[in-house]
């Protein structure tokens, strides 16, 4: 099978390409421009295509595959970290690029389109009840809207698709600034990691487990167009954060309640991965404590 991967040289993309190569896939990597670092993927790919997804309709380097299937995997999304989450222009352009890439996937004969979602999409369910919002909510709303746009498009052009909703990812090499990355970065500097009440359900999935699940989704036949890729064992967020402090030996620097609540509601069922396990098998092999220990060990070596 040939797999076209957009967003190929990021944290998730690099891990995914390694795994797909290990599983025997022929990989075409789409990289935004020639200034990007491709050292982590170049030896695993049969083709590197330099193309900004904003202009993918003009990309002529990806040809139809005469033999076998082709799957298009889109991991590209601008504005996923820090203040960029709140730039609505990024989120709006992401939705267009998501759909343009699906249209191109259809034109080059892809049999399936796989796109990356996020657990942050669930915030949209709280939106109507929020008295005020943080601009960072544009990211989750953008992803949720992108999923709806994509579903309309793919069903209209007859392109099977899978929306893979990622839980919060952690592991060695993750410098995205998400919860675990932020916490360990603060603790490494002996500075306080500040959080809201952290009294809601949450979930963290280790990078290797997420990649195994995603690779199986890409390479197999699917029964659904939506799957949640989580650890399958959500906890109250406070428990996770205190575990981080304890593992790092700096429990006093985990500042639970130092920030106000954003009033976004999460539920345990939002992290339910039972449909995924039913269709691809059990993919979780690393407990949170094991994954955290590996991540902390990697941080110490940097």
- Could you state, in order of their start, the residue ranges of all structural domains in the chain? 2-166
Helix axes 288-301, 179-188, angle to 10 degrees: 50
| Mean pLDDT, rounded, for 96-100 | 97
> Over 80: is that where the pLDDT of 66 sits?
no
Which DSSP category does 276 fall into? H
Distance from the Cα of residue 164 to its chain's centroid = 8
Span 99-109, mean pLDDT?
96
Q: Where does residue 79 rank: exposed (0-12), middle (13-18), buried (19+ CB within 10 A)? A: buried
For β-strands 168-170 and 70-74, DSSP reports them as unpaired
Q: Are 170 and 207 in contact (CB under 8 A)?
A: yes
Helix or strand holding residue 6 (H, E): strand 2-6
Digit-coded pLDDT (tens) for 204-227: 999 999 999 999 999 999 889 999
pLDDT range class, residue 65, cuts 50, 70, 90: confident
For residue 261, give the 3-state DSSP assignment. coil
Span 278-295, pLDDT tens digits: 999 999 999 999 999 999
Phi, psi for 26 (deg, rounded to 5): -90, 120
Question: Do 3 and 214 form a contact (C-beta atoms < 8 A)?
Answer: no
How many CA atoms, within 13 angstroms, populate the side-chain half-sphere of residue 180? 28
**CA 142, CA 145: separation in Å to the nearest integer?**
5
Pick the CATH number of 2-166 from 1.10.1740.10, 3.40.50.720, 3.30.460.20, 3.40.50.2300: 3.40.50.720
- Banded model confidence at residue 300, pLDDT cuts 50, 70, 90: confident
- The predicted pLDDT at position 301 comes to 86
Average pLDDT over residues 154-158: 98
When the pLDDT of each residue in the chain is averaged and rounded to a whole number, the result is 95
pLDDT digits (tens, 9 = 90+) for 222-240: 889 999 999 999 999 999 9
pLDDT-derived band of residue 170, with 50, 70 and 90 as boundaries? Answer: very high
Q: Are 261 and 213 in contact (CB under 8 A)?
A: no
Among all chains, which residue has been given the structure tokens 């730039």? Answer: 87
């Amino acid at each position: 099978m040939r797999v076209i991967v957009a967003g190929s040289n990021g944290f998730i993309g690099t891990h995914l390409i390694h795994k797909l190569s290990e599983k025997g896939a022929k990989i075409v990597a789409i990289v935004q421009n020639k200034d990007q670092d491709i050292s982590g993927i170049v030896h695993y790919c049969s083709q590197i295509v330099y193309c900004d997804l904003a202009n993918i309709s003009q990309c002529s380097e990806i040809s139809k595959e005469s033999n076998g299937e082709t799957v298009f995997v889109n991991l590209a999304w601008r504005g996923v970290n820090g203040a960029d989450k709140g730039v609505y222009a990024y989120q709006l352009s992401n939705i267009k690029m998501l759909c343009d890439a699906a249209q191109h996937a259809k034109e080059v004969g892809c049999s399936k389109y796989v796109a990356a979602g996020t657990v942050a999409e669930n915030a949209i369910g709280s939106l109507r009840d929020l008295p005020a919002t943080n601009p960072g909510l544009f990211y989750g709303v953008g992803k949720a809207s992108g999923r709806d746009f994509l579903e309309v498009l793919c069903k209209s052009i007859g392109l099977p698709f899978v929306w893979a909703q990622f839980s919060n990812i952690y592991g060695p090499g993750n410098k995205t600034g998400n919860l675990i990355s932020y916490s360990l970065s603060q603790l490494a500097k002996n500075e306080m990691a500040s959080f809201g009440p952290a009294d809601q359900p949450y979930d963290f999935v280790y990078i290797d487990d997420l990649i195994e699940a995603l690779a199986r989704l890409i390479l197999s036949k699917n029964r659904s167009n939506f799957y949640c890729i989580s650890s399958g064992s959500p906890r109250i967020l406070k428990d996770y954060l205190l575990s981080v402090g304890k593992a790092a030996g700096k429990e006093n620097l985990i500042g639970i309640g130092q920030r106000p609540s954003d009033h976004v509601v999460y539920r345990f069922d939002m992290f339910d991965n039972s449909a995924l396990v039913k269709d691809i098998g059990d993919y979780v092999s690393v407990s949170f404590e094991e994954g955290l220990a590996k991540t902390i060990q990697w941080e110490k070596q940097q």
